[in-house]
Structure 1
């Protein structure tokens, strides 16, 4: 006679037992063979119930299966784990949302963690406690931003699952986004023209001409490192044509900046004899020439955004300009050149919004009547070499 089940395991269906020696649930089929169902109690119970409903049916309830009815309602009961279905769901979402490559890369990393955590569960066994545990484990530093990004993607994925009848409801919808508190404007440390000039000079003394060129282009065009790193010589004729990647679906994302004497000088100084299609470029060391290009690069002389930003931050810290700010992430970065450019233009009476393609307006059709619309902006030269009398650090 079999031992009676403990109170803890009385709810386990026929054939399913918990093996302490394996620290997992083991199921015995009607032919005597066994199957290890892992550590997830809910999943093990769900699989056992489904098996028993098919093979351990009382003779009085047995009937021939009507396959026409089963095929007409295939999604009522999912017999596969959610991990087998999520990759196709994520692909569908990516195609619908048309994320930029950078956004897609971030979501792909988060999706991989979601797949690892929920992959072995049955779709309708996922509950709010499971969602809470995932959000806790995926965000060990308790960052509000990280929490919201994971929750947002989880809600989106599960909503698609509900829409495709994979899940009956979305437990993630019961979670509330955490409130992000904007940094006090008085706490923001701005990059000044003195800081810009000092870092620019230091880069020259270190022989990093490409950083000087990148800094000057960012200041004169009001664009960030992502656009500056991608700028090619073929984009430059009478105008510099730049498309801002962040809001590329909007009409404001494409700008044509007139070539003036300052921009012409920058472009000419960038031509240093290195054969490269990119304005911001460098020559790899010989030992690295045969190595494959890093992800996102198209040419051996192209620089990654991170390399440009890191070179700027290294020069900033070597000069000890912002040592009073303990957290390096709060110190002005390469991106703050864009802010400095906008501030200097506004101070001189120019409207910088159009030049910077800095728009939060709703997305509009980019292509109209077979051509792409570019926004021509005013010819502005930003004279950063003139040092203001006022010390902006005080």
Structure 2
């Protein structure tokens, strides 16, 4: 097996010698360990030292030694999943996103050596995808190559030099009239889920996990799924008249620990990810909302990627609070005001700012 061809810019240099700091200095990559070692700013001295090191570490007849020093993108991605991912305790959805985008990276450059991937290679890959997908691939690539630098597999992170694309929101915002029309077509349990989301601004998964036992001293305690590691994720929501009305409606003749619950078509004692036979999975809430939305006929002809989902109720709720002059940031569990504003943008109505001039 012959050695991999060098890049055109590096061809004048001996094997394993590379320019660093924008060409101002040089570094030698150990052919066995893969670690980089500074070789100073003198080109002549760096070349002489590299030739001497190659003679000692990579004899002409030692083809195996030439190969051992190279780690492919695929091998590094596998190492990352086995060693880095477990330490970070990613949620299932985040880890799945990483795995999906790693497959795209592996398909494009999995057999390339980590050290040989450059900005242009990554830029070409990102150009083939939508802004959202490209940004996810970039996020994963930045992480992968940052770890590669820490492992001594390369001196820099080419993914950081690529551009982050601007994502244009495709989904339509939900108006109050549309909400009311969809609400009327939903079964009672789904209506409860919609109203809880609208009043509390909680995500689908957090609404599905709300329990009666978490209502204490006039407050509904919620640990937000996405932000449970941060202070903004622990909410004690005061139960006002509107929320109290919804909670009372949730207390029907079906005994269940969950606010949002239903009687399934057939009773099953144990289901994957469920601890009670009346429990409603987040996907079921999404499906019930989508079925009522389509039945309403309000969005006939709208492309599928623009159809409002259950998540848009959160944006509508934020808009309602803002319309009343209230700040919904803490209730939404957002760490920054900008994040809350992202949900509030995209509505057609103009919010006039009241000011006084003498």
TM-score range, shorter chain: 0.5 to 0.7
1:78–1:123 CA contact under 8 A, matched in 2: no
Structure 1 residues 361 and 179, CA gap change in structure 2 (3 angstroms): closer
Cα distance in 1 for residues equivalent to 2:105 and 2:206: 32
| 2:223 aligned to which of 243, 250, 259 | 243
Deviates more, 1:144-153 or 1:83-92: 83-92
Counterpart of 1:191 in structure 2 is 175
- The unaligned stretches of length 5 or more in structure 2 are 4-53, 339-348, 350-358
Deviation at residue 182 of structure 1 after TM alignment: 6.2
Task: Select the structure of larger CA radius of gyration.
Answer: 1
Q: State the Cα deviation string for residues 274-322 of structure 1 (Å, max 9, x = none).
A: 4543222233343x838852xx555443333232123112211211123
Tell me, what secondary structure is at the counterpart of 1:231? coil
Partner of residue 198, structure 2: 219
- Per the alignment, residue 315 of structure 1 pairs with 292
- Residues in 1 aligned to 2:269 and 2:103: alpha-carbon distance in whole angstroms: 31
**Offset at residue 79 of structure 1 (A):** 4.9
C-alpha distance in structure 2 between counterparts of 1:127 and 1:351, whole Å: 45
How far has the Cα of 1:99 moved from its partner?
3.8
Between the aligned partners of 1:83 and 1:343, the Cα distance in structure 2 is 45
1:146 aligns with 2:133: yes
Would the alpha carbon gap of residues 347 and 53 (structure 1) be closer, same or farther in structure 2, given more than 3 Å must change? closer
Q: Aligned match of 1:301 in 273, 278, 296?
A: 278
Return the match for 1:277 from 236, 250, 257: 257
| Contact 1:191–1:336 (CA under 8 A) maintained in structure 2 | no
Within 5 Å, which residues of 2 pair with 1:102-251?
102-115=93-106, 117-128=108-119, 130-132=121-123, 134-135=125-126, 139=128, 142-181=129-168, 189-192=173-176, 194-203=177-186, 208-237=187-216, 238-251=218-231
Misfit runs of 4+, over 6 Å: none
**Cα offsets for 1:130-164 (capped at 9, x unmatched):** 4356446xx5xx31111111012112101111111
Change (3 A) 1:245 1:361: farther
SS of aligned partner of 1:241:
strand
Contact 1:89 1:157 in 2 (8 A): yes
Is 1:268 paired with 2:248?
A: yes
Cα 1:300/1:128, change in 2 over 3 Å: farther
Whether 1:345 aligns to 2:325 is: no
| Paired residue total | 285
Q: 1:56 aligns with which of 50, 61, 73?
A: 61
SS across alignment from 1:283 = coil
- Aligned position for 1:335: 311
2:81 corresponds in structure 1 to: 90
- Does the 8 A contact of 1:89 with 1:161 survive in 2? no
Taking only aligned residues, the RMSD between alpha carbons, in angstroms, comes to 3.8
Q: Is the alpha carbon distance of 1:345 and 1:144 closer, same or farther for their aligned partners in structure 2, counting shifts above 3 Å?
A: closer
Structure 2 contact 173–316 (Cα < 8 Å) conserved = no
Whether the 8 Å contact between 2:77 and 2:102 is mirrored in structure 1 is no
Aligned equivalent of 2:237: 257
Contact kept? 1:191, 1:332, Cα under 8 Å: no
Instruction: Show structure 1 runs of 5+ residues with no match.
Output: 1-11, 15-48, 58-69, 71-75, 363-391
Higher helix share: 2
